[in-house]
Amino acid sequence: MKIFRLILLILHVGILFLLLGTLLNAYVPPKIFPWFNLLSLGFPFLMISYVVLIFFWIFSWKKRAFVFMLLGLFFLNPVKRWINYSSDPKGTADLKIVSFNTRGGIMGRETIGKYLESQNADVMLLQEDRGTGYEFKGYEKANPKAILTVFTKHKVIETKLIDTTNEEIQSYGTQTDIEIRGKIYRFINVYLHPFKFEKEMVKLNGNTDADEEKVKNIVKKLVPTFKIHQDQVSTIRNAVENSPYPVILAGDFNSVPNSYEYYHLSEGLEDAFFTVGKGSATSFHDYKFPIRIDYVFSSKSITPISYKVDRSVDISDHYPVVATFSLHK
């Protein structure tokens, strides 16, 4: 029994160090060391394992349980980026936005159009809008590039691409300055370079050799994409930092919480889910494990009121994200 507990202790310490590695994404870019970013993908499973082992030590009447519980406080905020139970916010919402990767409308263009129209949002930011040609009465359309589209009930002052990557990469960022009730806000719509995984590519079937080859191929796709993201994040950060207006940054980041992308894109901004979200933030549902890759961030002068991942519809491999804000702090 002592040997078994020693093995579990070593395992627990190892998981602790792996979890600490995910925190280093705030400081270490993928081009220098991409493996910390790789760890962020496994954060939910590492955290669950860490908590299960704490309960084991508690039931074993071991004082080390309290040590691991104390160290676990380091991961309170990282956990809240995945699962959160915030109190009801104070204030009245006067801005509603929808951010949604429509997957090019292949799961039902008309159904998606009806859903978006029913939301009656002030601003809608669509990703992978591959020339679907949506038009909504009473909305102005900003579409400097076909893969990203913004619809708004308000006046568009200017819209342009902010992405400077190679056209072949097929990922973009746009900024759209919109006047709302006499004040201008900058909406940045993001679709970071995708990993382009098919379900079969990530599904392990129990065949040791085949599964090992799949894992190698997954890593071969992940690491170069992390490095591409680093350049794209830098470009988007410039758009945020140089904005003369308050910013709302939203879209499909193709990155999980606690990743390099998350830490650096959210810098100086407020994660609406972290502030007012409840339940799970999982927004991509094509695989059988929790993945949050859709976000809404805002300047500190814009107050988040509510955040919802709308799981009532299944019209894309992403769920729509609906957030409301108060523009008067």
pLDDT reported for residue 165? 57
pLDDT at residue 49, rounded to an integer: 96
Query: What would the mean pLDDT of 52-76 be, rounded to a whole number?
Result: 93
Q: Return the minimum-mean-pLDDT range out of 38-47, 189-198, 301-310, 317-326.
A: 189-198
> pLDDT tens digits for 155-182?
999 999 886 555 555 558 999 999 999 9
pLDDT for the residue numbered 219? 79
Each residue of 122-152: pLDDT tens digit?
999 999 987 667 889 999 999 876 689 999 9
Q: Residue 150: its pLDDT value, please?
A: 95
Phi first, then psi, for residue 45 (nearest 5°) are -70, -40
Residues 104-112, mean pLDDT to the nearest whole number: 86
pLDDT digits (tens, 9 = 90+) for 252-283: 999 999 999 999 999 999 999 999 999 999 99
Q: Is the pLDDT of residue 108 over 90?
A: no
- How high is the pLDDT of residue 5? 87
Mean of the per-residue pLDDT values of the chain = 89
Q: In this model, does residue 197 exceed pLDDT 70?
A: no
Mean local confidence (pLDDT), 81-89? 85
Local confidence band at 107 (pLDDT 50, 70, 90 cut-offs):
confident
For residue 125, the Cα-to-chain-centroid distance in whole angstroms is 14
Can you name the CATH fold of 87-326?
Deoxyribonuclease I; Chain A (3.60.10)
Question: In the predicted model, what is the mean pLDDT of residues 186-212?
Answer: 69
Residue 236's pLDDT is 94
Answer whether residue 50 shows pLDDT above 80: yes
The full DSSP string for 36-58 is HHHHHHTHHHHHHHHHHHHHHHH
More confident site: 146 or 284: 284
Rg (CA), the chain: 21
pLDDT at 328: 76
User: Nearest-5° angle of CA 169, CA 44, CA 255?
Assistant: 15
Domain residue spans in the chain? 2-80, 87-326
Percentage of residues of the chain with pLDDT beyond 90: 71
Q: According to the model, what pLDDT value does residue 231 have?
A: 92
Instruction: State residue 247 phi and psi, 5-degree precision.
Output: -120, 140
Query: According to the model, what pLDDT value does residue 206 have?
Result: 53
Of 278, 230, 287, 286, which Cα lies nearest the Cα of 255?
A: 230
pLDDT at 88 over 90: no
Q: Among 42-51, 132-141, 262-271, 301-310, whose mean pLDDT is lowest? A: 132-141
Task: For residue 4, name the pLDDT band (cuts at 50, 70, 90).
Answer: confident
HSE, CB side, 13 Å, CA atoms: give it for residue 16: 17
The Cα 275–Cα 91 span in angstroms is: 13
The confidence score (pLDDT) of residue 133 equals 75
